[in-house]
Homo-oligomer: A and B are copies of this chain.
């Protein structure tokens, strides 16, 4: 299980006067708060920074540093976050955010990269929690979790991309949570075109609780359930999601990248390797010709262990049913046999959603592991699904 977790569920949120949005306005005496309480929030002046709706007593602390003032975590539920263009949906417990794909979030093909999509999932999850008023500390805990020394960690993540948004495109990202068994939580996302409503991507993730000190899994205390259960919405972003086992690769894997070392810029706020770096390490094992001719339509990640800054990592990758697909590919055959196989595999795994995908899919199994002294230790297992890129439009480059 990965540190993505600590970040991605209940994080620090820092923001100054974020509920005010009026162009050209610098006047801090004029801050508007759009909270559900409809009461004006307390305003605190500290070190030249104006803050809104920070309750110092709830922070259990008489001192407010400049950083805490800039952090500005709300203690009551908010319904609108003007600065992030976020607002509550589904009767106040779901979250929707408008996002524009930025120039540096696209790759050479001018569409958003998978890394950007993953980043936006993390960001909207955090902003959802920020608006909940439940956030207690900087490492992902509600008030009750904090009292019980508990943090969230992600155990599984699945993303399906039907189409990648292009540079400058406006998206709407919905996210919500629900129960996963007795002690876990699920978070889902839908990414849509703001203009047409077309669903570009769907994602789901599973979270469990870890004791921060013992590093062991924990049951969900009743107090925590009481806090988060009102936020649960029973709705699936990916329908008929039946997790399919990802086998553990060994050194017979076809593609192996060794001696991967995290760089400083790969570390997140917990000094662990960030989730997006995991995915980059996985994708770098995929052969260049596949990356050129195909695009990733699905990725599943099963987290086992955090990767620290001093770990040396190995990235293994093996085509699923490899010899069969590889042989056909080498012979450059585009047979109906291959189409039939891949289509069947797509439906088997992904149900209704993948039914409309193009037929020529490739699937790879992945493993990231640390080269330990005594034995290798798994960090994350993965599966990626790829489809042929559409032929470029004759007018696309005009």
- What is the interface of chain A, defined by CB distance below 8 A to chain B? 7-8, 11-18, 21, 23-24, 26, 28, 48-50, 59, 61, 63, 65-68, 70-72, 80, 83-85, 87, 89, 96, 98, 100, 102-104, 106-108, 110, 113, 115, 119, 122-123, 126, 130, 138, 166-170, 193-198, 263-265, 267-269, 271, 274, 276, 280, 283-284, 288, 291, 393, 395-398
Copies in the complex: 2
* Residue pair B48, A396 in contact (C-beta under 8 Å): no
* Residue pair A166, B70 in contact (C-beta under 8 Å): yes
Main secondary structure of the interface of A (DSSP, over half): loop
Extra inter-chain contacts (17) besides given A65-B393, A66-B393, CB under 8 Å: A11-B103, A14-B168, A15-B169, A16-B195, A17-B194, A21-B85, A59-B398, A65-B395, A67-B166, A67-B393, A67-B396, A71-B166, A102-B119, A104-B274, A108-B268, A110-B269, A263-B284
Q: Give bound CA distance, A13 to B106, whole Å.
A: 12
- The residues of B that contact A167 with a CB separation of less than 8 Å are 11-14, 269
* Residue pair A70, B12 in contact (C-beta under 8 Å): no
* Residue pair B265, A113 in contact (C-beta under 8 Å): yes
16 A–B contacts from the bound complex (CB under 8 Å): A12-B167, A16-B195, A18-B168, A48-B196, A49-B195, A49-B196, A50-B195, A61-B398, A68-B398, A71-B168, A83-B100, A104-B123, A106-B269, A108-B264, A108-B269, A264-B291
Nearest chain B residue, comparing its CB with the CB of A110: B269
CB distance from A154 to the nearest CB of B (A): 14
Q: Give bound CA distance, A267 to B13, whole Å.
A: 32
- The residues of B that contact A288 with a CB separation of less than 8 Å are 264
Q: Give bound CA distance, A276 to B194, whole Å.
A: 29
- The residues of B that contact A393 with a CB separation of less than 8 Å are 65-67
* Residue pair A170, B108 in contact (C-beta under 8 Å): no
What are the 10 closest A-B residue pairs judged by CB atoms, nearest first? A16-B195, A14-B168, A15-B168, A104-B119, A65-B395, A23-B87, A108-B267, A17-B195, A13-B168, A102-B123
* Residue pair A18, B170 in contact (C-beta under 8 Å): yes
Nearest chain B residue, comparing its CB with the CB of A123: B102
